[in-house]
A = this chain, B = another copy of it.
Amino acid sequence: MTSSEKNSAQASDWLSQVSWNDQGLVAVIAQEADTGDVLMMAWMNKESLQLTLEKGEAVYWSRSRKKIWHKGEESGHVQVVKSIHLDCDGDTILIKVDQKDRIACHTGAHSCFFLDLEVTPDGPVWKK
């Protein structure tokens, strides 16, 4: 193996160490770097994870539109990636990001997790 072949093999190792599911996807949690707020959960395929590293901005795989989704390409609410972490069994990635305009959700909310479970006399209710 030549040195450049070796580099090329090593360069793709990090991608093969991810446990892609049967649809070739890995779950990705986006956490705001400075506040620690969990912003959203989405999915990446191999190409989008590679693009995320190259661009330094979160690039997901849209399961509904079945295409690469550079988050914020239309809204401007891009996520600048500060660090990328893999979990113990390789099937979930955590990215720490600077969220442009502090808006991660397509509803305009800061985080997608804006429904809070409250236990009321009538039972549990999801409240904004």
A interface vs B, CB < 8 Å?
Answer: 6-7, 10-14, 17, 27, 29, 31, 35-38, 40-41, 53, 83-89, 92, 94, 105-107, 109, 112-117, 119, 122-126
Closest to A7 in B: B122
Chain B proximity of A30: nearest CB distance (Å) = 10
Distance between Cα atoms of A11 and B120 in the complex (Å)? 9
With A92-B41, A112-B92 as known contacts, state yes or no: A124 contacts B11, CB within 8 Å: yes
The answer on a CB contact under 8 Å between A83 and B117 is: yes
How many copies, total? 2
Distance between Cα atoms of A125 and B16 in the complex (Å)? 11
The answer on a CB contact under 8 Å between B86 and A115 is: yes
